[in-house]
Amino acid sequence: MAKEKILVTGGAGYIGSHTVVALIEAGYEPIIIDNFSNSEESALAGIAAIVGRSVPCHRIDCTDAAALRGVFEQEQNIAGVIHFAAYKAVGESVEQPLKYYHNNVGSLVALLQVMGEFKVTNLVFSSSCTVYGIPESLPVTEQTPVQKANSPYGNTKKICEEILTDLANSGSRIKSIALRYFNPIGAHPSAKIGELPLGVPSNLVPFITQTAAGIREQLTVFGDDYDTPDGTNIRDYVHVVDLAKAHVVAVERMIGGKVEAIEFFNVGTGRGNTVLEAVQAFERATGEKLNYKIGPRRAGDVPKIYADVTKATEVLGFETTSTLDEAMKSAWDWQLSLQDKSKK
């Protein structure tokens, strides 16, 4: 039987590249679209080294409907699309909101138009737990009310979910699953693909690994006066390899015709960990001592959030298998492999 083709926008990116590997392992034929604005060609080599063959990649921008049309014409018989391509830096989005609205919202609209033209009806969309804002109760379920976004980045995720809902309600044949990610961390156990932050990382785990590697001097823990057991923020850190598998089961559900309009799923572990627990997990898993200090709160941080993943478990059959320590170890192995490459 011919393998089903899945178009993966942003397939050279952090979550995208891990998902491409997971799709191949599950018997799908992923086709990557990426403009490499926040990813590197080396991700394609890393994927190829893991799966033993190269994966087709179209170097285009998803806001360009004509270029997208060219890909759909060339590829034919696309069974579904996973749309990762988006900007994700919260602070930058506050400074350059139009860049975020143009790219994140514009690419989804262009993609949906072209999917409609080519009668491709299945979409899995990368959303974020940012849509829940500061939740009133924990853990958050998919029924937890969505709140006003506290950054343009967060607003693009909220708007994109609304666009997909409006489209589904319009009678369109396009159905979607929006996966609301909690905090993706870690890297493929082979250390051939992982996160490649541009410049100074704003996310915790790449900052930790770069500090341990001596690229950054010291990690600042943003506040220890929150209402949590040790005073630092609580997040739900999910291993990117587990997160990647959520996309495979979502695609399976879509292709099986089980989605009637739009469905939302939290994708996390169901466990909350403080920043200091994350630091301790890193130290325990790697044997490295981390230089850190407690600093002031970071504006816009949610004090605590973690997922209820019952729906993803029951409906998608999603499960996580990695511990926080394993995720930290894989992030460190990836960091070490980057150091090795830069020495060569």
Catalytic residue list = 153
Cβ count within 10 A of residue 12: 30
Per-residue x/- marks for ligand UD1, 74-113, CB under 6 A?
--------------x-x-----------------------
Query: Residue holding tokens 């890297």?
Result: 187
CA dist 286 → 120, 193, 209, 211 (Å)? 45, 19, 10, 13
Q: Does 144 bind ligand UD1 (CB under 6 A)?
A: no
Closest distance of CB 328 from ligand UD1, Å: 13
Tell me which residues in 273-292 interact with ligand UD1 (CB under 6 A): 275
Closest distance of CB 339 from ligand UD1, Å: 20
Q: What is the C-alpha to C-alpha distance for residues 278 and 275, in angstroms, rounded to an integer?
A: 5
Q: Does 300 bind ligand UD1 (CB under 6 A)?
A: yes
Return the residue of 99, 102, 298, 311 that touches ligand UD1, per CB under 6 A.
298
CA 38 and chain centroid, separation: 13
List 175's β-bridge partners, or say none.
122
CA dist 86 → 49, 116, 318 (Å)? 25, 21, 24
Return the residue of 67, 146, 290, 302 that touches ligand UD1, per CB under 6 A.
302
Pure H helices in 182-297: 204-212, 240-255, 275-286
Q: Nearest to residue 339, comparing CAs of 146, 194, 205? A: 194
Return the residue of 180, 192, 235, 247 that touches ligand UD1, per CB under 6 A.
235
Contact 45, 70 (CB under 8 A): no
Q: How many residues belong to the site for ligand UD1 (CB under 6 A)? A: 21
Cβ count within 10 A of residue 257: 10
CA 53 and chain centroid, separation: 24
Closest distance of CB 56 from ligand UD1, Å: 28
Tell me which residues in 177-216 interact with ligand UD1 (CB under 6 A): 183, 202-204, 207
Q: Does 154 bind ligand UD1 (CB under 6 A)?
A: yes
State how beta strands 175-181 and 262-267 pair.
Answer: parallel
Return the residue of 42, 165, 190, 220 that touches ligand UD1, per CB under 6 A.
220
Return the residue of 35, 128, 155, 286 that touches ligand UD1, per CB under 6 A.
128
Q: What is the C-alpha to C-alpha distance for residues 328 and 187, in angstroms, rounded to an integer?
A: 9
Q: Does 222 bind ligand UD1 (CB under 6 A)?
A: yes
Closest distance of CB 268 from ligand UD1, Å: 11
Closest distance of CB 222 from ligand UD1, Å: 4
Residues in contact with ligand UD1 by CB under 6 A are: 88, 90, 128, 130, 154, 183, 202-204, 207, 219-222, 233, 235, 275, 298, 300-302
